[in-house]
Amino acid sequence: MYQLKTNLNTSDTEFLQNRKKYEKLREDFHARLDRVMAGGSAKAVKKHKDRNKLLARERVDLLVDPNTPFLELSTLAANGQYEDKFLGAGIVTGIGVIHGHETVIIANDATVKGGTYIRETIRKHVRAQEIALQNQLPVVYLVDSGGVFLPEQSRVFPDKEDFGRLFYNQARMSAMGLHQIAIVMGSCTAGGAYVPAMSDEAIIVRNQGTIFIGGPPLVKAATGEEVSKEELGGAEVHTSVSGVADHIAESDEHALEICRNLFESIPAKEKYKLEKKSAEAPLYPAEELYGIAPLDLKKSVDPKEIIMRIVDGSKFHEFKRNYGTTLVTGFAHIMGYPVGIIGNYGVFNSESAMKGAHFVELCQSRKIPLVFLQNISGFVVGKKYEHEGLAKHGAKLIHAIANANIPKFTVIFGGSFGAGNYAMAGRAYDPNLLFMWPNAKISVMGGEQAASVLTTVKIQQMKAEGKQPEEADIEKIRNEILSQYEYEGSAYYSTSRIWDDGIIDPAETRNVLAIGISMALNKPMEDMKNGVFRM
Ligand code: COA
């Protein structure tokens, strides 16, 4: 492999200015994270602690093996929505290691509206289960939730991907042999009662955890029966009368210890054996990525400048270096794991699309995980390109990505627009994980392009009606579209709706990818079955 050499001058004014601006972006990003990490309102946090309960992230910390990383997902879900009353969507999800098993952890945050579920809470919970399914990981549920947030019922209850999907997924995962353990550390009510009931084993904390299909007020209203929470569905009842739970714990700490002990009986898993090398730090510091990350999407960024700051020894074996140069493809290692990397260096054209498809096939045949570094405004447009069959060449790449049976990871480091998003393993292509940098933008096309398409349509409409378009009206439409795209295209808008698995600090990219690759090796890699490639 060749060591990449930077073409950047890190004392250059442009680089330094970019880095300075990026520091501001990072400050804002970390301030947003800190706000979510603090949990719900100070009052709710105090009430929770006064009950001798640990906070959701404290529970996770005690559950995972000491000195192992916890990769938290979609931390900023639901932010900027619901008047910011559901920070983090009231749930913590991520991948942690318990007795050596990489495990998906799903923890309700009861300090955020009693841990109730709005649409984003469900999406985040289901997404974590999808990760467990795709990578064949066990799951631990730390339950402390009032179930559905009742005022939102029409947006969370009846549809296929709504609340019911949580339990459907549990059944399917169980049938696949994925171990699931629930710890009931607070309320677990109505449909939520299925979480422990459908798990392999359930632990419940004495005088704290409750499980019931209908709580005391509902029982009173329905039958007139007066019953306390503990009598109806407390820890004693469920571990000695109903059998809905299996282990009784005296405190949060005790429950987490029992759960860790249960993991000791889960057999160690044979992971897919990738030929690993010993890890080597990149030659160039990751912090330089702050000076490189595109803040102005009109400026093109050589993805090799990013690659050399995330791969082992900054070594990269480039594939088809002089062909289809708007796409960079090649092999490298991340923390010792072999990877194939595909990065954008301009718009897609026929050559770069075919080169991408060829490279995906290479990685598939060698069973090497793929990393997509997305910064793509779309496909080249024009008669020449349509005539040479751009669509059929793009289709080959889409075929290859959709059918490749190897782990895929997508990092959006710049723009992610239109068909380019699809051709670079956007969310619809099931990458094992997808992250955005804080500066990233995502929308069906760039704001400028959308504004010009829509103003052109408007002018044509008015002319067809025999009206002369006023410059001021056209400008108004243009500005409205520009500001809508600016707002909806931000990484924060995306992550709030869980279109990604989270926003990451660029300097964390290497670590995050390594955790992802290691996690993905829990599933054997299979061969690829191709469909019909149009030639
Ligand atoms: N829907 C909407 N809001 C709910 C809710 C629900 N299911 N459950 C709780 N909340 C809200 C409360 O109104 C309160 O809101 P606020 O912070 O704006 O005042 C907040 O969540 C915290 O609830 P609170 O009762 O003060 O906290 P708690 O820790 O003492 O109790 C619960 C939490 C979840 C045990 C309790 O609120 C409860 O039993 N809720 C009803 C659960 C239920 O029957 N769910 C059925 C849904 S299918």
Q: What is the pLDDT of residues 249-305, one digit of tens each?
A: 999 999 999 999 999 999 998 999 999 999 999 999 999 999 999 999 988 999 999
CB–CB of 374/344 below 8 Å? yes
C-alpha distances out from residue 249 to 106, 117, 210, 242, 492, Å: 19, 26, 13, 16, 39
* Protein residue with its CA nearest to atom 25 in ligand 1: 114
Q: Is the CB of 215 under 6 A from ligand 1?
A: yes
Q: Which atom of ligand 1 is nearest to the CA of 147?
A: 47
CA 161 to chain centre: 17
3-state secondary structure of 92: strand
- Please list the residues that pair with 3 across neighbouring strands: 315
Q: What per-residue confidence (pLDDT) applies to 471?
A: 87
- Nearest Cα residue to atom 20 of ligand 1: 113
Residues 268 and 407: their CA atoms lie apart, in Å, by 21
| pTM flag (> 0.75) | yes
Are the C-beta atoms of 258 and 249 separated by less than 8 Å?
Answer: yes
Cα distance between residue 20 and residue 311, in whole Å: 24
> With a 6 A CB cut-off, is 112 part of the ligand 1 pocket?
no
pLDDT in tens, the chain (535 residues): 799 999 999 999 999 999 999 999 999 999 999 999 999 999 999 999 999 999 999 999 999 999 999 999 999 999 999 999 999 999 999 999 999 999 999 999 999 999 999 999 999 999 999 999 999 999 999 999 999 999 999 999 999 999 999 999 999 999 999 999 999 999 999 888 999 999 999 999 999 999 999 999 999 999 999 999 999 999 999 999 999 999 999 999 999 999 999 999 999 989 999 999 999 999 999 999 999 999 999 889 999 999 999 999 999 999 999 999 999 999 999 999 999 999 999 999 999 999 999 999 999 999 999 999 999 999 999 999 999 999 999 999 999 999 999 999 999 999 999 999 999 999 999 999 999 999 999 999 988 889 999 999 988 998 899 988 888 888 998 999 999 999 999 999 999 999 999 999 999 999 999 999 999 999 999 999 989 999 9
Q: What is the pLDDT at residue 269?
A: 87
Query: What is the C-alpha to C-alpha distance for residues 84 and 10, in angstroms, rounded to an integer?
Result: 39
pLDDT at 250: 98
Give tens-digit pLDDT for 379-420: 999 999 999 999 999 999 999 999 999 999 999 999 999 999
- Rounded Cα gap, residues 405 and 432, in angstroms: 11
> Comparing C-alpha atoms, which of 59, 389, 323 is closest to residue 208?
59
Pair 80, 38: CB distance under 8 Å: no
Yes or no: say if 312 and 332 are a contact pair by the CB < 8 Å rule.
Answer: yes
487 vs 319: CA distance, rounded Å: 37
State pLDDT tens for residues 109-154. 999 999 999 999 999 999 999 999 999 999 999 999 999 999 999 9
Atom of ligand 1 nearest to the CA of 218: 44
Q: Ligand 1: which residue has its CA nearest to atom 18?
A: 113
103 three-class SS = strand
- Ligand 1 pocket test, candidate residues 119, 122, 187, most atoms within 8 A of CB: 187
Angstrom distance (rounded) from CA 127 to CA 136: 14
Distance in angstroms (rounded) separating the CA atoms of residues 184 and 246: 11
Residue 187 beta carbon below 6 angstroms from any ligand 1 atom: yes
Nearest to 526 by CA among 370, 363, 364: 364
Is residue 149 in contact with ligand 1, taking CB distance under 6 Å? Answer: yes
Nearest to 93 by CA among 60, 58, 119: 60
Any idea what the Cα angle at residue 251 is, between residues 249 and 255, rounded to 5°? Answer: 50
Q: Which atom belonging to ligand 1 lies closest to the Cα atom of 187?
A: 35
Ligand 1 proximity of 114 Cβ (cutoff 6 Å): yes
Q: How far is the CA of 129 from the centre of ligand 1 (A)?
A: 25
Q: How far is Cα 252 from Cα 209, in angstroms, rounded to an integer?
A: 10
Pick from 83, 108, 189 the residue to mutate for probing ligand 1's pocket: most ligand atoms within 8 Å of its CB: 189
Instruction: Give the whole-angstrom CA distance, residue 322 versus residue 470.
Output: 49
Residue 74 has φ and ψ, to the nearest 5°, of 45, 50
Expressed in angstroms and rounded, the spacing between residue 85 Cα and the centre of ligand 1 is 13
The token pair at 55 is 């906070």
The C-alpha atoms of residue 497 and residue 217 are separated, in whole angstroms, by: 34
**Vertex 243, ends 240 and 244: CA angle to 5°?**
125
209 CA distance to ligand 1 middle (Å): 15
Q: Is the CB of 523 under 6 A from ligand 1?
A: no
Cα–ligand 1 centroid distance for 409 (angstroms):
38
Distance 314 CA to ligand 1 centre (A): 52
Cα dihedral 257, 261, 263, 268 sign: positive
Look at ligand 1, atom 13, and give the residue with the nearest C-alpha: 113
DSSP letter for each residue of 192-250: GGHHHHTSSEEEEETTT-EEESS-HHHHHHHH-----HHHHH-HHHIIIII-S--EEES
Cα 410 to averaged position of ligand 1 atoms, centre (Å)? 37
Q: What distance in angstroms lies between residue 33's CA and the mean position of ligand 1's atoms?
A: 25
3 state DSSP class of 403: helix
- Say yes or no: CB of residue 148 within 6 Å of ligand 1: yes
Distance (Å, rounded) from C-alpha 511 to C-alpha 466? 60
Residue 150 CB–ligand 1 contact under 6 Å: yes
